[in-house]
Structure formats: structure tokens, C-alpha cells
């Protein structure tokens, strides 16, 4: 076992079970409020889930952090995206200037935005967490070495720890030209699904580009057919990206710190599945912000056992869907925290609606 492998195991060992007693008390408290039980539908399910994570039956609104990691993919040179490869760096620079759509959404939540270059072809900002100038072309060779994949996971954990303050909810996002293609290949390999079930239009490419993505993902899956299905880190190294590996570390570190983890879209969902396969208790710390337009996102959410809060056909990326969901989560927690008890306002409500 390498030092990096041992460090990942040690990180996983820090992820403890959630507090079931707090969850039960949170669910019971909801039944006492001055509104019909279950009136908010699936939103009411958030309260006991978050109560378990935070060990607090009535957590109230949570201060939030939005984390965005950026990296480029060798496959992007094959025109699998509507954006040229240097666009990833420009998007990260826009985020860091505070002018991206994500920043505008986060300002409304409110949430603090942090970001880092994990492997853009053209460096942006500080290089503390940068793994290299993009990954290799996964049709021809592994995206990165296993050692680099392990280092990227640990770098993601280090990034989150260095940026996390008092925030108790972390939204996870990414930037990466070509990363829906890499994520499709990873999803196909991890879930043993056919290419047609995992490849979509990504950034909004035309049908010819979608067909090209199909062919390239097929090649990548054929090339990696001999990988052992139980070696998750080998699969990540073969088909992933530096931002995907980094987000595995972000998710592991956030769960280890008992933070609520709000996943953005397709790319962060595949990072979450890898994190859960490395450390199954992580699954109890996850909230799915939305279901994106990518076909591979649905089976990933099913594998994670997550029901997304929103289904709007989003493909904006850059943690924008997760940031939108933060407001919904905190509104739900605020309602649970501030709605009076039924007995205090003279209401006698049935236990169930209708």
C-alpha cells in the first residue's frame, strides 16, 4: 500500500455514522408544527436527513460554502464540447472575479464561493492544488496514473479543509471542458451500463457531436474492459479527470467534518459514487440538488439512492444547480425551525394530509 492509499483509508475512517436519534426527533418535531404533516412533500424529508448529519433535531438554516474545482480533459481535443478547451480557464477566472452566474446565485442564498485550478491546460490563479496541464486522452491511455489519482483525491480533501470555515453545508461543483464525456465513460464502467444509457449532449452539442461522443466513450470502455470492477481508484485513474478526483476528496473531507454535502449535477454525482464506494457511510451525508439533462445522471442518482430536489433540465454546470438548491434547503430548514407548534396556536391537525 502506498502512502497516498493509506492516507485515503485514514480519511475514510474519519467518516462516522450519522445520528439516527437526532433524525427521529427531527421527524417527530415536524409532526407537531402548525401545518399538515408532509405538507411540503419531499422537502420535509430533508429535515430529518440533515438532523442526522448535524446531530441536531432542529438545525435551522445552515451557513453554506460552494466549492468549484476546474480541470481540462485530453479528450476535449476531439471536439466533444460546444466550448473550446481554453474556455474552462476563462470560466474559472469569471468565477474568481465574482461575475459568473454561480456568484450571482450564491449572493442570493447567501453562500461563499471558493474555487481552484486542479488541472487546466492554461493555469488560472494559484497553483497550490494544480495536478498538471489536463489529463490524457482516455481513448488512447489512462487519464492519469493511479498515484496521481490518489494525490488528486487527497488534494481535494486538503483544499476543502483549507477553505472551510464555519459553514456546515457544502455545495460541490466543477468546471471541465470535455468532462461529461469522461463522466459518461466512468459511469458506464462503474455501473456496467451501455454507452447509449450514459452519453448526452453535455454543453449542448449537436447530434453529430453526440454521435462522436458515443463512439469515443465506446472506445474508452473497450480499452479499459480488463479493469477489475472492485478497484474504484483504478477506474477513476483510467477514465476520470483531476477535478473529478479532487471532488472525491472534497466529498470525503466534508463528510468527515459532518457537513451536509449538496451535489450539483452529472459530474459531481460520479465523484460521489466513487466516494461512496471508497467509504459507504458517505452516502448518508449527500443531498442531490437536481437531475440534469444528461442521461447518465439518472442511474447515478439511483445507485446513490438519492431523489433530487429539482428537475429543470439544467446544463449550466459550475455548481449552479447546487447553489440554487441551497436556497431551497435553507428555506425548508427555516420553515421547520420557525413555524409555531400547532398546540401553541390552537390548531388540532390530523397526522397526515387529507
Scored b (16 or more CB within 10 A) or e, 260-270 reads bbbbbbbbbbb
> What are the DSSP calls for 211-245, one per residue?
HHHHHHHHHHHHHTTTS-TT-HHHHHHHH--HHHH
Beta-strand ranges (E) seen in 120-205 are 169-175
Confidence at residue 202, expressed as pLDDT on a 0 to 100 scale: 67
- How is residue 310 annotated by DSSP? B
Closest CA to 191 of 275, 285, 287, 274: 274
Q: CA-CA distances (angstroms) from residue 210 to 139, 224, 290, 291, 349?
A: 16, 21, 22, 20, 53
Distance between start and end Cα atoms, the chain = 58
- Helix axis angle for 146-163 and 242-256, nearest 10°, is 50
Distance CA 4, CA 283 (A): 23
Confidence at residue 208, expressed as pLDDT on a 0 to 100 scale: 75
The three-state secondary structure class of 171 is: strand
DSSP H or E segment with residue 71: strand 64-71
Confidence at residue 260, expressed as pLDDT on a 0 to 100 scale: 98
Beta bridge partners, 65, equal 112, 170
Confidence at residue 141, expressed as pLDDT on a 0 to 100 scale: 95
Confidence at residue 50, expressed as pLDDT on a 0 to 100 scale: 98
Closest CA to 151 of 199, 119, 108, 184: 119
Confidence at residue 15, expressed as pLDDT on a 0 to 100 scale: 98
Domains of the chain from N-terminus onward: 65-328 (3.40.50.10210)
Distance CA 12, CA 16 (A): 9
Distance CA 259, CA 156 (A): 15
> What are the DSSP calls for 116-134, one per residue?
EEEE-SS--S--TT---S-
CB atoms within 10 A of CB 62: 23
* Contact by Cβ (8 Å): 323, 109: yes
CA 97 vs. chain centroid, Å, equals 23
**Single pTM value for the model:** 0.94
Closest CA to 130 of 142, 141, 114, 117: 117
Per-residue pLDDT of the chain (354 residues; tens, 9 = 90+): 788 999 999 999 999 999 999 999 999 999 999 888 888 999 999 999 999 999 999 999 999 999 999 999 987 777 666 666 678 899 999 999 999 999 999 999 999 999 999 999 999 989 999 999 999 999 999 999 999 999 999 999 999 999 999 999 999 999 998 899 999 999 999 999 999 999 877 666 767 777 878 889 999 999 999 888 789 999 999 999 999 999 999 999 999 999 999 999 999 999 999 999 999 999 999 999 999 989 999 999 999 999 999 999 888 889 999 999 999 999 999 999 999 998 888 887 665 444
Scored b (16 or more CB within 10 A) or e, 198-224 reads bbbbbbebeeebeebbbebbbbbbebb
Confidence at residue 353, expressed as pLDDT on a 0 to 100 scale: 44
Q: Which residues contact 48 (CB under 8 A, 6 or more apart)?
A: 23, 24, 26, 27, 30
Amino acid at each position: 500500500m502506498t502512502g497516498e492509499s493509506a492516507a485515503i483509508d485514514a480519511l475514510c475512517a474519519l467518516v462516522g455514522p450519522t445520528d439516527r436519534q437526532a433524525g427521529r426527533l427531527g421527524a417527530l418535531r415536524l409532526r407537531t408544527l402548525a401545518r399538515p404533516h408532509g405538507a411540503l412533500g419531499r422537502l420535509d424529508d430533508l429535515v430529518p436527513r440533515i438532523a442526522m448529519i448535524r446531530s441536531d433535531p432542529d438545525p435551522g438554516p445552515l451557513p453554506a460554502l460552494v466549492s468549484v474545482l476546474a480541470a481540462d480533459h485530453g479528450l476535449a481535443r476531439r471536439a466533444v464540447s460546444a466550448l473550446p478547451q481554453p474556455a474552462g480557464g476563462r470560466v474559472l477566472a469569471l468565477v474568481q472575479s465574482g461575475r459568473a452566474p454561480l456568484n450571482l446565485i450564491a449572493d442570493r442564498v447567501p453562500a461563499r464561493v471558493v474555487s481552484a485550478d486542479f488541472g487546466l491546460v492554461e493555469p488560472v490563479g494559484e497553483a497550490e492544488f494544480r495536478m498538471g496541464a489536463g489529463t490524457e486522452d482516455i481513448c488512447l491511455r489512462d487519464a492519469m496514473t493511479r498515484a496521481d489519482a490518489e494525490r488528486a483525491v487527497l488534494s481535494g480533501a486538503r483544499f476543502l479543509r483549507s477553505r472551510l470555515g464555519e459553514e456546515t453545508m457544502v455545495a460541490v461543483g466543477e468546471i471541465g471542458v470535455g468532462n461529461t464525456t469522461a463522466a459518461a465513460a466512468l459511469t458506464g464502467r462503474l455501473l456496467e451500463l451501455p454507452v447509449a444509457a450514459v452519453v448526452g449532449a453535455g454543453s449542448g452539442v449537436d447530434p453529430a457531436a453526440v454521435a462522436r461522443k458515443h463512439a469515443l466513450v465506446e472506445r474508452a470502455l473497450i480499452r479499459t474492459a480488463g479493469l477489475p470492477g472492485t478497484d474504484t481508484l483504478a477506474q477513476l485513474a483510467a477514465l476520470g479527470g483531476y477535478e473529478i478526483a479532487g471532488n472525491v476528496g472534497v466529498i470525503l473531507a466534508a463528510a468527515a467534518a459532518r457537513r451536509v454535502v449538496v451535489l450539483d449535477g452529472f459530474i459531481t454525482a460520479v465523484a460521489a459514487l466513487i466516494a461512496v464506494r471508497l467509504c459507504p457511510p458517505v452516502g448518508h451525508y449527500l443531498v442531490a440538488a437536481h437531475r440534469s439533462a444528461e442521461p447518465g445522471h439518472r442511474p447515478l442518482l439511483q445507485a446513490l439512492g438519492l431523489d433530487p430536489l429539482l428537475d429543470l433540465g439544467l446544463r449550466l454546470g459550475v455548481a449552479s444547480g447546487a447553489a440554487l438548491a441551497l436556497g431551497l434547503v435553507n428555506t425548508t430548514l427555516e420553515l421547520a425551525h420557525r413555524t409555531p407548534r400547532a398546540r401553541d396556536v390552537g390548531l388540532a391537525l390530523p397526522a397526515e394530509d387529507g
